[in-house]
Every structure is written in C-alpha cells, then in structure tokens.
Amino acid sequence: MPPHPNIMKPAQILVTVSKSSDDKPVVCGTLYPFLQNGTLASYIQMNVESSQRIPLPQKAQWCYEMASAIAHTHLVAHTYHMDIKPGNFLLDDNNNLEQNDAPVTTAAPEIDGTWDVEQTGEGENATLQYRKYSGPERRHMPLTTPGDKGWNTWNVFLEWSKNCPKALELAEVFSLGRSMWMLLEQTDMDIFDDGESTEEVVVDWKSPGDIPESWKGIVRRCLEIQPNDRIGITELVTFWDCERHKLRSGQVFEVQEKLLD
C-alpha cells in the first residue's frame, strides 16, 4: 500500500521460528513500534471516566484523519479495511491517528452476508441496487473461521471489492460515521464490548451542547440506512478538512457563541 501519514507503516521486523533440525524459518509474527498513547477508544474512555470534554479542534482533526486514512485505502490503494472503529486507530507521540489492523457495533447493516449489490450508471448518475439473497446456503470463508453466520461464512467485502467497490466505500462511510459519533459524543466505550449486531446501537446526542449542528448533520449523512443516500468518502474528507482549518484560523462556531451567552 502506498504510504499515508495516518496509516501504520508495514512492519520492519519479522518474528520467525524454526526447528532445530531445519534451517528454513517460518514467519509467525511481526513487531511494531509501541505507541504509549494507546488507541482512540481508550482515550475517549479515559475522558468519559474523568468527565472531561475533548476540545473541538482535536475532534475535528481526528475525524479528518480517520476519513483521510480510509479514503486513501479505497481510492489510492484500491482495497478496504473492514473493521473501522475507534479501537483500531492508534495515537502516535504527536497525538495523530494511525489506522491499524485490517466490533460489529460500527458495521453497516448491508454487510451481514445476506445482500448482493450491483451498480447501474456511471459517475454522479451511479446507483447501487441491493437485493436480498434467497438462494441455497453459500460459503467462501474457511471452515476454520469462527462463527457460523454473516461475514464469518460469506464476506461481502471479498465479492464487492471486485464487483462493486462503491458499495464497499459506502459501507465503510457508515462505519466512519459510527466511529465519529463515538468520538464527538464521547460515548462510554465499554457498553459496546458485548454488542452482537449493529442494529443494537442507538445513535443519539446527549452531550452538553458543544457539538456543532453541521457536525451532527454530516454524521447523520454517513449513517443513512439506504447506502445510496450516504455521503461519499471524498466529500467527507473535504468537510472535515474545512472544519479543522476553520478552528485553526480562529473562526467561531455559532454553538460556541451560544455557550458564552
């Protein structure tokens, strides 16, 4: 994958094992630098437990970095991540995000293995047509894969990456929206540990009123149930790039003015 500032670089050190009677080593793992600031999820949880609000400029920067990393994954590397969530973004020594490894609580509802999709039209006129699969049981995942339903048996990412990459992009936009909501709202991350489906998560805004309405609106556009209604990844990156620069230049949001009244 071409390098990106918010995507962890490939491991430079491989861990190998070999039998005493065999001089051919086998790779069993890799070593990465230790990032002592932990994950975005752990940082959110730390602030939840201390009742501290993460500053808006930091939230805008992290939302931009999440979107930028996934846009690079799709539009430059032409691949996908499949498990976007705050726990899969690490904080480096400069508090910038690094996407790592490639919970169901952020997954788009259409990737449960029961839907097929095809694209009609091109460019701005492109539309995705989804249809519920009703044929015989199908499987292309190894029998050793844990679980017996959803992407554990039929992983749509493997199919859509070849046949309909736009569907993958919009599915990952949904996951980005969930992750951005968790960051902006500063949800209790522990409550998602035992979630079994994306439908269990109720997205609401109970924060003290410090989140601009435009930010909530962009998250809602990410989380549209109908994939065709979701914002595209390029537009999402552009939005957050604009918002982070607004804050850097000292522009004041209307919501912040109200808090000062």
Q: What are the tens digits of pLDDT across the range 139-160?
A: 887 877 777 667 678 888 888 8
Residues 6+ apart with CB under 8 A from 224: 230
Q: Is the dihedral of CA 235, 240, 243, 248 positive or negative?
A: negative
Q: What is the predicted pLDDT for the residue at 167?
A: 92
pLDDT of 254 over the 50 cut? no
Q: What is the predicted pLDDT for the residue at 194?
A: 55
29 membership: H or E segment, kind and range: strand 26-31
Percentage of residues in the chain with pLDDT exceeding 90? 38
pLDDT of 255 over the 50 cut? no
Give Cα separations from 11 to 66, 82, 201, 240 (angstroms): 21, 20, 34, 29
pLDDT of 87 over the 80 cut? no
Confidence of residue 173 (pLDDT cuts 50, 70, 90): very high
pLDDT of 8 over the 80 cut? no
Report domain 38-113+155-260's class. mainly alpha
pTM, entire model: 0.80
